[in-house]
């Protein structure tokens, strides 16, 4: 390719994530109530539209119940939106069946959770090998790749330990190694430091930050401004909508008096330099 064409090619590459007018409704109440149309709807997402570039590092913030985990579950193909579109690398995923979604998850996305979600009776090595087992990788290669992932997170000496024999920070490192072992382009972390003290949190953020520097796109949910400060871009959720998007070249911010509706949040882009 001619070097002068490069910026155009880059500009036309699809973002890693593109969601448009995403909504998620949960219907509550008994089956009978729902059948009679008397169930209560919870609108967990009310129209989220945004893009996330490959290689970005995004913090998702907002009060409890604002839709952060629902958003992450949709991004992670763990759950389907009620309406709206979701393209992962330009591929529409909202209509894929469960098998296709599972395959996509396994190949492209790593997950990290607040409570680590490790198998208690399995060693660190076995926990990290698990996604490779699902992917049908042969034992010798599973072991080699899991060992490399554990070394990457600084746990090369602890591969035979079970979760109960490891500190919280070490358990989260095992979980990060498990998320990395399939070499995903996207890591989704839902409050990864929520169960850790501040020193250990900083160490985990240092690790995620160095993975991001190596090109892994990271989206993480956090309540803590200290943790969000590690990210390049910060999204603020409120009542199922993004009400602030900071660090993305353009910022969106609603005035405190504005009613939050799906229509008004994205109509007021503010240039970083303050130009209208």
Ligand X SMILES: Nc1ncnc2c1ncn2[C@@H]1O[C@H](COP(=O)(O)OP(=O)(O)O)[C@@H](O)[C@H]1O
Residues in contact with ligand X by CB under 6 A are 26, 28, 42, 44, 62, 64-70
Candidate segments 68-76, 116-124, 193-201, 240-248, binder of Mg ion by CB under 5 A: 68-76
Distance separating alpha carbons of residues 37 and 45, to the nearest angstrom: 21
Minimum distance from residue 70 beta carbon to ligand X (Å): 3
Output 132 or 236, the one with its CB closest to ligand X: 236
Check binding of 66 to Mg ion (CB under 5 A).
no
Output 8 or 63, the one with its CB closest to ligand X: 63
Candidate segments 41-49, 67-75, 211-219, 252-260, binder of Mg ion by CB under 5 A: 67-75
Please list, residue by residue across 208-244, b when 16 or more beta carbons sit within 10 angstroms of its beta carbon and e when fewer do: beebbeeebbbbbbbeeeebbebbbbbbbbbbbbbbb
Minimum distance from residue 58 beta carbon to ligand X (Å): 15
Give 132's contacts (C-beta < 8 A, 6+ positions apart): 141, 142, 145, 146, 181, 182
65 contacts which partner out of ligand X, Mg ion, none, CB within 5 to 8 A by kind?
ligand X
Tokens of 251: 């910022």
Strand 91-92 relative to strand 83-88, pairing: antiparallel
Output 60 or 175, the one with its CB closest to ligand X: 60
Output 65 or 194, the one with its CB closest to ligand X: 65
8 Å CB contact between 208 and 218 = yes
Check binding of 69 to Mg ion (CB under 5 A).
yes
Output 166 or 243, the one with its CB closest to ligand X: 243
42 contacts which partner out of ligand X, Mg ion, none, CB within 5 to 8 A by kind?
ligand X
Check binding of 248 to Mg ion (CB under 5 A).
no
Minimum distance from residue 69 beta carbon to ligand X (Å): 3
């Amino acid at each position: 390719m001619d070097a002068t064409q490069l910026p155009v090619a880059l500009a036309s590459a699809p973002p890693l994530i593109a969601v448009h007018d995403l909504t998620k409704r949960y219907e509550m109440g008994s089956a009978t109530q729902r059948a009679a149309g008397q169930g209560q709807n919870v609108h967990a997402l009310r129209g989220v539209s945004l893009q996330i570039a490959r290689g970005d590092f995004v913090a998702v913030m907002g009060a409890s119940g604002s839709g952060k985990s629902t958003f992450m579950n949709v991004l992670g193909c763990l759950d389907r939106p009620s309406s709206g579109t979701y393209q992962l690398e330009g591929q529409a995923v909202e209509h894929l069946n469960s098998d296709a979604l599972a395959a996509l998850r396994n190949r492209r996305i790593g997950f990290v959770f607040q409570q680590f979600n490790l198998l208690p009776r399995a060693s660190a090595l076995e926990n990290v090998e698990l996604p490779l087992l699902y992917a049908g990788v042969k034992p010798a290669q599973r072991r080699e790749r899991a060992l490399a992932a554990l070394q990457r997170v600084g746990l090369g000496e602890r591969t035979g330990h079970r979760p109960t024999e490891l500190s919280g920070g070490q358990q989260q490192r095992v979980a990060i190694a498990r998320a990395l072992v399939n070499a995903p382009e996207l890591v989704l972390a839902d409050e990864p430091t929520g169960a850790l003290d501040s020193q250990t949190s900083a160490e985990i953020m240092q690790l995620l930050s160095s993975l991001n520097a190596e090109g892994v796109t990271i989206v993480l949910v956090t309540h803590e401004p200290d943790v969000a400060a590690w990210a390049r871009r910060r999204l603020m959720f409120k009542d199922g909508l993004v009400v602030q998007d900071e660090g993305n070249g353009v910022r969106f911010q609603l005035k405190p008096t504005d009613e939050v509706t799906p229509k008004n949040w994205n109509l007021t882009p503010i240039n970083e330099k303050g130009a209208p």
